[in-house]
Chain A
Amino acid sequence: MAGRVETTEPVGKSVPRIDAYEKVTGAVQYVDDIPFGPNLLYGKFVRSPYAHALIKSINTSKALALPGVKAVVTGKEVPNRIGLYLKDRFVFPLDRVRWIGEPVAGVIAINEEIAEEAAKLVEVEYEELPAVFDPREAIKPDAPLIHPDLGKYEVVPFIFPEPGTNISEHFKLRKGDVDSAWSQCAAIVEDDFFVPQIQHVPIEPHCAVARWDKDGTVTLWAASQSPFAQRDLIAQSLDIPHGNLRVIAPYVGGGFGGKAGVSIEANVVAMSRAVPGYPVKVRMTREEEFLGTNVRQSCAAHYKIGCDKDGNLLAYECQYYFGGGAYNEYGVNITRAAGYSCTGPYDVPNVKGDSYCVYTNTQVGSAMRGFGMPEIHWGLEQMMDRLAEKIGMDKAEFRRRNCVRPGDKILTGMTMPQVDLVKCIDLVTKAINWDKKDKPSAPHKKRGKGIAIMWKAPAMPPNPGSQAIVRFNEDASVNVFVGGQEIGQGTFTVMAQMAAETLGVPYEWVRITANPVDTKYSPYEWQTVASRLTWSMGNAVKAAAEDARQKILQVVAEYWKEDPKDLDIKNGVVVSYKSEREQSLKKMVVYGLPNENYEGWQGGPIVGSGKFMPTYVTGLDPETGQGTRAVVHYTVGAQAVDIEVDTETGQIEVLKIASAYDVGKAINPDLVMTQIEGGAVHGLSAAYEGFYFDERGKLINNSLVDYKIATVMDIPKEIHGDIVETPLEDGPWGARGVGEHVMVQTAPAIANAISDAVGVRINTLPLSAEKVYLAMMKK
């Protein structure tokens, strides 16, 4: 620590990332970088060529006969169900496949080439069934039934499947009386929107290694946002005592929700059981990443929204049909979140919302950054624009007038907690010169501006917990043990800041002991999802640090014979405001302090522990979605964009994106800005992304050649960010999460700007130059 800068009271300061040095030097090990030695075996999945079929038989003899093949594992060996909210899938399917690309068996061999070759030799006999890909088709009574056993699946109490249909969840929101409100509306808009499935495209593909030791202990190394949830789900599914299953999760090379819950990990663990003592590695190729891992759900939405002549929203009716894919074990809760937040960040007196999660014969829809919110905001934020147009009101003003404010009884009956969305709107409109019509850069170009606002609550069970441990070393440096994952968002840095601030030591004294997160040693953390770590894990770290701080003060107070209340820790030194004595933390935090004349000692190694779990979320009425408190809190924000449309090609250049989010308290303002910037580009990129399938349901653009994500050449000329800080009641220093929110409304903001520039509306994502051009032609 000598010679380095020391940052005291670091909360609110843009200290450098704690993980930067190891990341720029190439020292960081991701799962695929961990050496396992020559005993490492490689696994490869055999994948279904049919979107929907019965498995009649699986013959593995040819594959097993290939030299170098160690084992082939099929559903028969692991007839166990798995799932987070709804246990609707087998580890490997037992009787039926439900999408093209579903893993049917796992082959294990001494190298990748042999595993790949052997996978082709596994003979599976199928009986093809009719398939359905679009949620709007899948809800029809005569649609092929994808899960005939839906009624038998184990499900959490707040999810409502409809057995005998493809509906795995139906969330109903009823507030006021929509039907009688229409007559009072001066303007009504009604339309349909569609969002296709998209993929997270982390640059690190999924990779997992598992070893099943002969004594029954099992170790899983995984690129994972959810080591503890994976331990829980896999242990339950494969009948492993939780204490025997150890999940080790090093830094994640991009998550975005794709590495939340379980995707390939249970399969790899199940495969490893066939070769006791050998580590088995399965790494997705980029094509498999698209074909076989989790994706964002598609969403077909219908809206009918009305307001009075002054622009006050009166009624909001919506139906959301999420294309949940083959298994909805995680996706059901996305649909639920879309249901209880169905109006977007608007205060509407009369609401009728129905949100359906629908099985389709496509990739598994699961968590992705925004968790249902980008899907519903795409349509609703365009509809708000159209409503404002209809009554001749400025679109930003329309939003100011109708957006949620603290104290509002929002759609679920919950009282809106502290946020300042109006300020966010003010900031982005100012940043983008909202009232000024700027000139395009060339005669064949047209310029336009658009705005969109958003809200999102952490969508999770009511009671996900966090735990932290703070432990001092001899030199008073601190190890903070957490179980949340560093997926790029900077959580380790923020946790170190919070611990340092609470303990009264410089930021540079803190080490985060969580790489890897190891369920054998790390404190518990539900999952690294829902933008919940700064808030939830932060509260646990703060509590653990406070616990350690109190223990230190107790020891010193007794040593000085003073009251702990008169003591404080400043810059690593215990000070007494009463006697003005000082005691360095060094050594004493491990060795304690001697009594007078060395007649004994007191204190000892300091360790603090803390936890946090929200205890106040209530259930909602299944028929109305009404309840005292639907969610822990909401984060809100606004974006405004300035674009230019090339009328000869339909190409859009985004000149500027201005964002403002209410984060409660920016623990590290520059890291908040990196989320805002990265999210804006992710949102812009995602607006141009979408899966294309052939008529059999086979994914056509299953590579980066044809599933293009934004490159450095595609980014806006300028990204502006503003941070609003309205403290959250139970956030550490008032902080709430922002990691997902930053991309939620980018697509509709761009769509609104397109409409402003060239007067066409695009209701179906993805955007493309072609779509814009052809829409202009039709006009």
Chain B
Amino acid sequence: MQPFDYYKPKTFEEAFDYLTLPGKTVFPLAGATDFIPSYRDGVWQADAVCDIKALPGVRDLRETPEGLWVGACVLMSELARSPLVRAHWEVLAQGAEVVGSEQVRNRATIGGNMCTASPCADTPPPLYVLDAVVVLKSKAGERRVPVTEFFTFVRKTVVQKGELVTGVIIPKPPAGTVGEYHKLSRRQGCDLSLVSVAVLAAPRNGGYDWRIALGAVAPTPIRVPDAEAILSKGWDAASIDEAAKAAEKTAKPITDVRSSDVYRYEMVRNLTRRAVRSVAEKLKK
């Protein structure tokens, strides 16, 4: 691995100075689980890294009046095992617990999983159905972006040079909300998603507000409004089939070394149906 410099600021002001060093590419570093392999392979270049783990608030995981605050450097293993997250934001815990291996989950952060912006990342689809809001900070101040507007393409986000994701805010779903994250991969252990589906049903006006997000089948995660609309009217077997077909229509998968688009289309439908069914099962209980 070729040399680079390392900075570890304790304040945001200091961090922004490092990130905007003239003539230098300074890479914000959280868990390093994506950075080290990508840098080593030459996919990412950097003159230096700016370790953001000592910045205020970025390691906090707590409930606030606005909802759950997940600091950018909160670990996947913390999300997966937090009783608070399990109690109210279960679908996020489900996504976090299938990221990589235990060792990776003990270093990988939600901020990193977001900013790497891999289409097959496992926390974005849950964040999509939870209507999370991403909080960004720069010298110019703070801004908030709905997670559904955060990703712009494969490995591209709205984050500007000199700007940091400090965390996400996730509104607290009403009591009785049920969610499921399903992932299909080649191997059962530590593999990337070929297709993933997050489904959430939140009680509303005596019925349910359904939300569905897909991962790994488009340049960014996508919501499936057509399917959501079908289910929000009713979730009998026929509607579930309809919704699954709507998901298949919405997906825009590619063919790569992991899978063909043909198979991915099929799996979007079958996996959506399966995930919706298991949410429906839970609702019946």
Contacts and interface: CB of A to CB of B under 8 A. Distances in A.
A769 B2 contact: no
Contacts of B263: 650, 770, 773-774
Contact of B186 (A287, A700, A708): A708
Given A706-B258, A712-B189, A773-B263, 11 more contacts: A287-B41, A648-B270, A649-B184, A649-B271, A701-B257, A711-B188, A713-B190, A770-B259, A770-B260, A774-B260, A774-B263
B186 A711 contact: no
A706 B258 CA distance: 7
A113 B274 CA distance: 49
B200 interface: no
Interface in A503-519: none
A688 B1 contact: no
A113 B189 contact: no
B267 A708 contact: no
B274 A688 contact: no
A700 B189 contact: no
B189 A117 contact: no
Contacts of B257: 692, 700-701, 706
Given A700-B257, A701-B257, A711-B187, A648 B2 contact: no
A648 B257 CA distance: 21
B283 to A, nearest CB: 20
A389 interface: no
Given A700-B257, A701-B257, A774 B262 contact: yes
- Which residue, A651, A710, A769, A777, has most C-beta atoms of chain B within 10 A? A769
Contact of B2 (A113, A712, A768, A773): A113
A713 B184 contact: no
Interface of A: 113, 116-117, 287, 648-651, 688, 692, 700-701, 705-706, 708, 710-714, 768-770, 773-774, 777
Contacts of A287: 41
What 4 A-B pairs come out closest when comparing CB atoms? A711-B189, A713-B189, A713-B188, A770-B263
Interface of B: 1-3, 41, 184, 186-192, 257-260, 262-263, 266-267, 270-271, 273-274
A415 to B, nearest CB: 45
B256 to A, nearest CB: 9
Contacts of B259: 770
A708 B257 CA distance: 12
Contacts of A774: 260, 262-263
Contacts of A711: 187-190
A768 B3 CA distance: 40
B267 A714 contact: no
A654 B56 CA distance: 49
Contacts of B260: 770, 774
Nearest to B269: A648
B192 to A, nearest CB: 7
A490 to B, nearest CB: 26
A649 B3 contact: no
A733 to B, nearest CB: 40
B95 to A, nearest CB: 17
B249 to A, nearest CB: 18
Nearest to A711: B189
A712 B101 CA distance: 11
A700 B257 CA distance: 7
Contacts of A773: 263, 266
Contacts of B191: 708
20 contacts: A113-B3, A117-B2, A648-B273, A648-B274, A649-B184, A649-B271, A650-B263, A688-B186, A706-B257, A706-B258, A711-B187, A711-B188, A711-B189, A712-B189, A713-B187, A713-B190, A768-B186, A770-B260, A770-B263, A774-B262
A696 to B, nearest CB: 15
B187 A710 contact: yes
B270 A649 contact: yes
A648 B182 CA distance: 13
A710 B258 CA distance: 15
B228 to A, nearest CB: 22
A648 B266 CA distance: 9
A117 B2 CA distance: 8
B164 to A, nearest CB: 27
A295 to B, nearest CB: 17
Contacts of A116: 2
**Residue of A116, A648, A688, A713 with most chain B CB atoms under a 10 A cut-off:** A648
A714 B187 contact: yes
Given A770-B259, A777-B266, A714 B189 contact: yes
Contacts of A701: 257
A647 to B, nearest CB: 9
Contacts of B3: 113
Contacts of A770: 259-260, 263
A688 B266 CA distance: 21
Contacts of A712: 189
Contacts of B41: 287
B270 A708 contact: no
A648 B184 CA distance: 11
Contacts of A692: 257
Nearest to B186: A708
Q: Which of B262, B263, B274 has the most CB of A within 10 A?
A: B263
Contact of B187 (A648, A649, A700, A708): A708
Given A116-B2, A774-B262, A769 B186 contact: yes
Contacts of B273: 648
A32 B270 CA distance: 47
Nearest to B263: A770
A94 B206 CA distance: 78
A747 to B, nearest CB: 16
Contacts of A705: 192
A657 B134 CA distance: 49
Contacts of B186: 688, 708, 768-769
A688 B3 CA distance: 37
Contacts of A777: 266
B35 to A, nearest CB: 15
A747 B273 CA distance: 31
A712 B191 CA distance: 12
Nearest to B188: A713
Contacts of A714: 187-189
Contacts of A710: 187
Nearest to A116: B2
A649 B2 CA distance: 42
A344 B275 CA distance: 45
A113 B267 contact: no
Contacts of B187: 688, 708, 710-711, 713-714
A648 B137 CA distance: 44
Most A-side CB within 10 Å, residue of B186, B192, B271, B273? B186
B102 to A, nearest CB: 11
Which residue, B1, B189, B192, B262, has most C-beta atoms of chain A within 10 A? B189
A687 to B, nearest CB: 12
A4 to B, nearest CB: 37
A40 B271 CA distance: 54
A113 B258 contact: no
Nearest to A650: B263
Nearest to B264: A770
A708 B190 CA distance: 9
B99 to A, nearest CB: 14
A712 B189 CA distance: 7
A57 B276 CA distance: 62
A16 B174 CA distance: 58
Contacts of B2: 113, 116-117
A113 B1 contact: yes
A607 B188 CA distance: 53
